[in-house]
Amino acid sequence: MPSRSLVIGVIGVIIIAILVAMAVLQPPALRREAVLIVGTTFDPKTLDPALAYDIASAIVIQNIFDTLVTYKPGTTELQGKLAERWESNENATVWTFYLRKGVKFHDGTELTAGDVKYSIERAKELQGPPAFLIDVIDTVEVVDDYTVRFILKYPFAPFPALMAFMLTAPVSPEAAEELGESFAENPVGTGPFKLESWVKGQEVVLVANEDYWRGKPKIDKVIIRIFKDPSSLRIALENGEVDMAFGIQPSDVPALLENPDIKSLSIEGLVIEWLGMNLRKEPFNNPLFRKAVNYAINYDYILENILKGTAVRLYGPLPPGIWGYDPNIESYAYKYDPEKAKELLAQAGYPNGEGLPKIELLISTEERAERGEVAAVIQDNLRQIGIEVEIVNLDWSTFLDRLFAKDFDMYMVDWFPDYADPDNWFYPLFSTEGLGLDGYNNSRVDELTRKARTITDVEERTRIYHELQRIVVEDAPWAFLYVPKLYVFMQKNVEGFVLYPAYYIDFYPVYKTS
């Protein structure tokens, strides 16, 4: 007869076996989907990197597409992305990039040098707003499947930095050819996220790319919700309805910085905000009138009362954070002097504003909420010297359409750099080979801008950019307003996000702790 202990032991073994079998047979618990909800006031215009030229579109595109080159986290220092390395000949007219192997587009096709060539040539052919940036490229050669060579029209030192801009991102040739114009709403790239859906003006939904060459993102889905009213964005953040917020208006920043339940990141950025004028027509073709406008604006009032410490003064074409900035620029920049403004207005032929038509000032508060208040201050400042201004607040897409069509008297807008080099302020914005938004035309500026982008010596380039700043400030094609700091506000369980000076928004490293 078996002992009592033996019976108990056998029963114990049986129970353990049953529990193990139940554990094996029971279906595994479903992993909770990791979703990041991003609130923003930025409303994308297009998701085609060949056509996009606004920060709202860029935020999405930067996560659907990869570029050959990118920035080291939180800096303007370059590192490889789709390209493992690159090199140039001695005079910087030939640049060769060596691609990573095994990178796949979202449609499963493998990235090759031929796709890079196709994408650059497609961007040139489409001639979207940023296409002028790649005019420097003469031809693109496929050396082999993973080596691509760019032959430039002239030496261009910042070329690797240009290759970090979304315009140059490879697109799937198969998808682009099949979809045609609708590719802008159905983009196919190599990036960490794929587009799931886009309801214009409301929401963009991205899902993780399971086959991403760097490994699947930690977040399964990114839902980007677009808020027309920045006050509603703040409330949504405080109520926990969004995990991250971009585009918080300056008046809400101090309170959020004090909120113990919200964390933030900020950085001195490279973005500039200015008041542009259409130099193609009167009275803006008169430099005396433009200088009067510059002296009429109460910059300190705007910085202290509207922006509340979230920005610093912009004295000229370059932000203080980019190399080549002239540290002496404040000595020759414009300062608030309404009496001087009145004198210049009279010298321009408009004493007390006599003979001037009402001037239309285009803005879009959808893209930057504080712009309405800043514009109202400028409107009042100009009225005090005799210039009557009507503010026209447009939706972001319509604003861009009118801006690129040069259909304006005056406008306010900001500039997010395409690449972190002084060339990216002077060439697009002041050279006659660039965007030509304002109709500014100075042969000396053209000459120096071309010279600076064709030499490699940094000290010589710096001297040129100092001279360029003096010339442009003297010509006063704009009223130079301010450099906003870059902020992101987050729930306390959001980790991994990094702010970049060039405002590159990367959701790939982001995760939530609960």
In a domain, residue 113? The reply is yes
CA torsion sign for 428, 430, 432, 436 is: positive
pLDDT of residue 30: 53
Mode of pairing for the β-strands spanning 311-313 and 478-484: antiparallel
Closest CA to 244 of 220, 229, 264: 264
In a domain, residue 176? The reply is yes
Chain position carrying tokens 């409330």: 235
CATH number at residue 276: 3.10.105.10
d(CA 221, CA 215): 15
Q: What percent of the chain has pLDDT over 90?
A: 84
Domain that holds residue 407: 272-483
End-to-end CA separation in angstroms for the chain = 57
User: Does 130 lie in the same domain as 82?
Assistant: yes
User: Does 378 lie in the same domain as 307?
Assistant: yes
Could you tell me how many residues make up the chain? 514
User: Does 428 lie in the same domain as 319?
Assistant: yes
Contacts of 305 (CB under 8 A, 6+ apart): none
User: Does 151 lie in the same domain as 85?
Assistant: yes
Structure tokens at 250: 């300056």
DSSP letters along 438-471, please?
S----HHHHHHHHHHHH---HHHHHHHHHHHHHH
d(CA 470, CA 491): 44
d(CA 107, CA 508): 19
pLDDT of residue 366: 85
Provide the greatest CA pair distance for the chain.
123
Percent helix / strand / coil, the chain, rounded to 5: 35, 20, 45
Q: Considering 185, 206, 221, which residue would you say is the last residue of a domain?
A: 185
d(CA 427, CA 133): 9
User: Does 319 lie in the same domain as 449?
Assistant: yes
CATH number at residue 214: 3.40.190.10
Instruction: Please list the pLDDT of the chain residue by residue as tens digits (514 residues).
Output: 444 443 344 444 444 444 444 444 444 445 688 999 999 998 899 999 999 998 899 999 999 999 999 999 999 999 999 999 999 999 899 999 999 999 999 999 999 999 999 999 999 999 999 999 999 999 999 999 999 999 999 999 899 999 999 999 999 999 999 999 999 999 999 999 999 999 999 999 999 999 999 999 999 999 999 998 889 999 999 999 999 999 898 989 999 999 999 999 999 889 999 999 999 999 999 999 999 999 999 999 999 999 998 999 999 999 999 999 999 999 999 999 999 999 999 999 999 999 999 999 999 998 888 999 999 999 999 999 999 999 999 998 899 999 999 999 999 999 989 999 999 999 999 999 998 999 999 999 999 999 999 888 899 999 999 999 999 999 999 999 999 999 999 999 999 999 998 889 999 999 999 7
Q: Considering 185, 219, 236, which residue would you say is the last residue of a domain?
A: 185
User: Does 460 lie in the same domain as 331?
Assistant: yes
In a domain, residue 253? The reply is yes
Helix/strand/coil for 258: helix
User: Does 356 lie in the same domain as 263?
Assistant: no
pLDDT of residue 20: 46
In a domain, residue 47? The reply is no
User: Does 203 lie in the same domain as 98?
Assistant: no
- The count of domains in the chain is 3
CATH number at residue 179: 3.90.76.10
In a domain, residue 31? The reply is no
Structure tokens at 147: 């080596």
User: Does 166 lie in the same domain as 113?
Assistant: yes
pLDDT of residue 31: 60
In a domain, residue 19? The reply is no
Helix, strand counts (H, E) of the chain: 15, 21
User: Does 448 lie in the same domain as 332?
Assistant: yes
User: Does 432 lie in the same domain as 296?
Assistant: yes
Q: Using CA atoms in the order 409, 415, 421, 424, what is the torsion angle rounded to 10 degrees?
A: -40
CA-to-CA separations, 27 to 20, 23, 283, 412, in angstroms, rounded: 13, 8, 76, 59
User: Does 453 lie in the same domain as 318?
Assistant: yes
In a domain, residue 450? The reply is yes
In a domain, residue 38? The reply is no
Where does residue 271 rank: exposed (0-12), middle (13-18), buried (19+ CB within 10 A)? buried
What pTM did the predictor assign? 0.84
The phi, psi pair for 462, rounded to 5°, reads -60, -45
Reported as a single tens digit per residue, the pLDDT across 362-403 is: 999 988 889 999 999 999 999 999 999 999 999 988 999 999
**What single letter denotes the amino acid at residue 125?**
E
d(CA 26, CA 45): 48
* Count of CA atoms in the C-beta half-sphere (13 A) of 5: 0
